[in-house]
Amino acid sequence: MNTKLLTRLRGIDTEARAGTLGKPSDHAVLAEWGRSGVKFAASSEKFEQVYYLALRKLLDCIVPTGASGADKPILHEGGVYLGCWLESTGTINAELLSRFIPSVSAASYALFADYQREDGLMPYKITEHGPAYRQIQLVSPLARSVWNHYLLHGRDRDFLRKMYDAMKRYDTWLATFRNTRGTGCVEAFSTFDTGHDGSPRFWHVADTPHLGNAAECNPDSPILPFLAPDLTANVYCQRTYLSRIAEELGEDASEWTSKAEASRQSLFEYCYDADDAFFYDMDRNGQWVKVQSDVLLRVLACEVGDKELFDTALQRYLLNTRKFFAKYPLTSIAMDDPRFDPFSNYNSWAGPTNFLTVIRTPHAFEHHGRYVELTWLVQPMMSALSRMSRFGQCVSPWTGEEGYTETYSPAILGLLDFVERLCGILPRPEGELWFTGLVPYAMDHGEEVAEETAYSRRVDGIVYELVNTREGSAIYRNGGDQAYLEFPNGIRVVTDRDGILKSVIGMTMRPVSGRLRYNDQDIPFSVKGNQQLEYRNGEWISRSDIGVIPPSYA
């Protein structure tokens, strides 16, 4: 094992690598990062520099704003987006940030509750000028982000109660004002309701709701309101997690369970084309708006559908090189659509690969145990990220070159998240730790991203360190010189938060056989791609073996 890289990891001064700080609040934020114990070292000095550049730019996206007060910074979207958006910054972005700087995520979530209107509408964004309510702009479910934060960080019931009450009121608002056709679906009144700026999905639709009122739809539109699959899936998932939260708070969860099921049924009745195996908007005339966009990924990321539906989506769309599986995936509309526009030098959801899609993707894949297939998306994006200097909103699906805007928090968090999922230590809400024994692969012109990596994280006072090479991996605890767990390249080792071995997962197309050294014992194993082997009483028990779905071309 590369002890030289381990020594370098231990010697990294995160504050020094972050450089000169830009504002007073950065000091406390960076100190909180330091308490996470997260450090990263790589055999490639260039990639390591990009990683700490991302950390530095992340600080620029964390700004004291609004009612949280100057002592409670929140996450901003970054770039030209000077504020916190509910569809992204206040949900999926903050969900990723929660693993690194949880106080900022908590403050970001809470601000949407603080600024909720009396009628129940939450702001779609919060800026230095205050809250804005012109549209709804929903994608990632807030309840899932709040629930995962709650589980990861000490189960603060006061926080959970505050957010639950606010989300409950917002659910009532949506049911009252965004179900005008009585279908049970959530309706889109404008392009910005879903954040799909510039998408052919919303050609001939105004960007904002009628008269700037989120509760009004243009009465003269020949096609609005749309029954929107992503908005409906959001509410389905939201209600599913609200049922968990209600149960945790000692309330009756059955109402949320039945409401979630009603949303699911409406979604499939009105927005699902079984022949295409795709989700479409339905316009006011009962016609499907047949634009194949990342709406599919959004619905799947909201935990809609079973294994069969997800596998079909992989085969026909997400891993199809005619559809969304570009060289740098996933595109914002299908590549075989004549309206597809790959240019990424402006804010566009008409083709280029957007980082919001990138960071929403892992949950959809992992929810169905598709770990290997996810790496096929992560690896090329890691190559693109390793070349970044600005951290733009989107990249060219052909070249991976960064496009519009800069210092964009989803791109920054995408790098931090992908490093942790591919070759780092990832704490899970359910109490597991993932140690993944892969390294970035040289996808672009044979240029190395990093042949070897090292990563550290502090969990419940224990410092874990993971060193990865192409041959194998080793985990160290609390600065020890001897690895307490070693394993071959190509698997993920799952432990509890005390580091006790629970299972392994095959992370490559090829089967991996070898020996896992744990507690001074050599434990032989053999695991296939996506197979999960549970370690119980000194034996391996196959918990799941779903195989691997290869890419398609037609």
Nearest Cα residue to 466 out of 442, 448, 483:
483
Tell me, yes or no, whether 89 lies in a domain.
Answer: no
CA–CA–CA angle 332, 333, 336 (5° rounding): 140
Q: How large is the average pLDDT for residues 257-280?
A: 98
pLDDT digits (tens, 9 = 90+) for 351-360: 999 999 999 9
The β-bridge partners of 104 are none
State the Cα–Cα distance between residues 117 and 110, nearest whole angstrom: 14
pLDDT digits (tens, 9 = 90+) for 366-422: 999 999 999 999 999 999 999 999 999 999 999 999 999 999 999 999 999 999 999
pLDDT digits (tens, 9 = 90+) for 222-267: 999 999 999 999 999 999 999 999 999 999 999 999 999 999 999 9
Look at residue 70 in the predicted model and tell me its pLDDT. 52
Tell me, yes or no, whether 226 lies in a domain.
Answer: yes
pLDDT digits (tens, 9 = 90+) for 123-142: 999 999 999 999 999 999 99
Domain that holds residue 176: 134-141+155-305
Tell me, yes or no, whether 52 lies in a domain.
Answer: no
Number of neighbouring beta carbons within 10 Å of residue 548: 17
How many domains is the chain built from?
1
Structure-block tokens of residue 130: 């205050």
Find tokens 């992204």 and name the residue.
88
State the Cα–Cα distance between residues 114 and 42, nearest whole angstrom: 42
Tell me, yes or no, whether 246 lies in a domain.
Answer: yes
Look at residue 446 in the predicted model and tell me its pLDDT. 83
End-to-end CA distance of the chain: give it in Å, rounded. Answer: 43
Give the single-character DSSP code of 123.
P
State the Cα–Cα distance between residues 300 and 368, nearest whole angstrom: 10
Domain with residue 205: its CATH number is 1.50.10.10
Find tokens 């391996």 and name the residue.
540
pLDDT digits (tens, 9 = 90+) for 502-547: 999 999 999 999 999 998 999 999 999 999 999 998 999 999 999 9
Tell me, yes or no, whether 114 lies in a domain.
Answer: no
Percent of the chain with pLDDT over 70: 99
Look at residue 444 in the predicted model and tell me its pLDDT. 86
pLDDT beyond 60 at 69: no
Look at residue 67 in the predicted model and tell me its pLDDT. 61
Quick check: 79 and 408 in contact, CB under 8 A?
A: yes
Structure-block tokens of residue 427: 């704490």
Tell me, yes or no, whether 127 lies in a domain.
Answer: no
Per-residue confidence band for 66, with pLDDT thresholds at 50, 70 and 90 = confident
Q: How large is the average pLDDT for residues 286-298?
A: 98
State the Cα–Cα distance between residues 205 and 191, nearest whole angstrom: 6
Q: How large is the average pLDDT for residues 344-349?
A: 94
Look at residue 447 in the predicted model and tell me its pLDDT. 85
pLDDT beyond 90 at 103: yes
Look at residue 445 in the predicted model and tell me its pLDDT. 82
The β-bridge partners of 130 are 127
Mean pLDDT of the chain: 96
State the Cα–Cα distance between residues 141 and 236, nearest whole angstrom: 9
The β-bridge partners of 425 are 435
pLDDT digits (tens, 9 = 90+) for 321-341: 999 999 999 999 999 999 999
Q: How large is the average pLDDT for residues 193-205?
A: 97
pLDDT beyond 90 at 68: no
Per-residue confidence band for 443, with pLDDT thresholds at 50, 70 and 90 = confident
Q: How large is the average pLDDT for residues 103-123?
A: 97
State the Cα–Cα distance between residues 190 and 204, nearest whole angstrom: 10
Tell me, yes or no, whether 12 lies in a domain.
Answer: no
Tell me, yes or no, whether 492 lies in a domain.
Answer: no
